Amino acid sequence: MATWRYANASVIGTSHIKGGKPCQDSSACEVLNDLNGEQVLVAIASDGAGSAQHSAIGSALACSLFIDEMRAFLETGNEVKTLTKEFYEEWILRFQNEIQVRAAAMEQATREFACTFISTVISNDTAVFAQIGDGAIVVASPDDYDTYTWEFWPQQGEYENTTYFATESRAKEKLQFSIHAGKITDEVSLFTDGLQRLALHYQSQSAHTPFFRPFFNALRIQTEMRTEKFVTSLAAFLSSSQINDRTDDDKTLILATRRNPPSNRDDK
């Protein structure tokens, strides 16, 4: 099995720059190892609610806690194929407890830390996806280089331009969870709602392949697991006028592949 190459970037939107707000998006992506030495990709993106004063803290905490949770899960001898929806529900409660502690220390309401939760965990034979809120996860077909599909469509709340958050009391009810075994994807992207109008085609409810193809073409030829040059280029693109002319929101994009370029694959 090929080694994962990955990149992630979270950049501030022009509306937040004008409003003097920080970037409220956060992301994390790491390749961990289970006790058998098998690589496990763990990726998480979180979008802090624009109306919440400390949502940047909430989103950063969600990302760091989930990575820590998965590292502990693997280091204690567990395998990805044993992950369940109940595991994620319990993690949500632990995350909310951490938020409550932070909120009490800062004398703030927990809603001021509101953030979404989008995660992917992939081993050699199992892929697990979980999400609360908007944004999306897009995966490549195991059999077709140019076919991308979404795992969960972005959640919309009770009103237009609203969604659900991992900090809410009803978060467990809104949790979307799926697990796939056998022939699974080896290319995945996670993104927050700042990019979903560019990365998804709403009329046909499909992933917009032309958005993803250039990123993955470039990532497949990387020789290192993660390169700062690629990450810097990704962040620069997300901050470019080409993107900012179409969205003024914060933007997070995570990309990961363990595919070789088509020419390399055909030569084997």
How do the pLDDT tens digits run along the chain, 268 residues long?
Answer: 679 999 999 999 999 999 999 999 999 999 999 999 999 999 999 999 988 999 999 999 999 999 999 999 999 999 999 999 999 999 999 999 999 999 999 999 999 999 999 999 999 999 999 999 999 999 998 777 778 999 999 999 877 778 999 999 999 999 999 999 988 899 999 999 999 999 999 999 999 999 999 999 999 999 999 999 999 999 999 999 999 999 999 999 999 999 987 764 443 3
- Look up the pTM and report it: 0.95
Instruction: Say which CATH number the domain at 58 has.
Output: 3.60.40.10
DSSP 137-205: EEEE-TT-TT-EEESSPPP--SSTT----TTSTTHHHH-EEEEEESS--SEEEEE-TTSHHHHEETTTT
8 Å CB contact between 122 and 2: no
**134-179 residue pLDDT tens:** 999 999 987 777 789 999 999 998 777 789 999 999 999 999 999 9
Rounded Cα gap, residues 192 and 238, in angstroms: 12
8 Å CB contact between 4 and 237: no
Task: Give phi and psi for 189, each to the nearest 5.
Answer: -135, 140
Number of domains in the chain: 1
Residue 112: give the domain boundaries. Answer: 5-267
DSSP 223-254: SSS--HHHHHHHHHHHTSHHHHTT--S-EEEE
8 Å CB contact between 149 and 155: no
**Dihedral of CA 136/140/141/147: which sign?**
positive
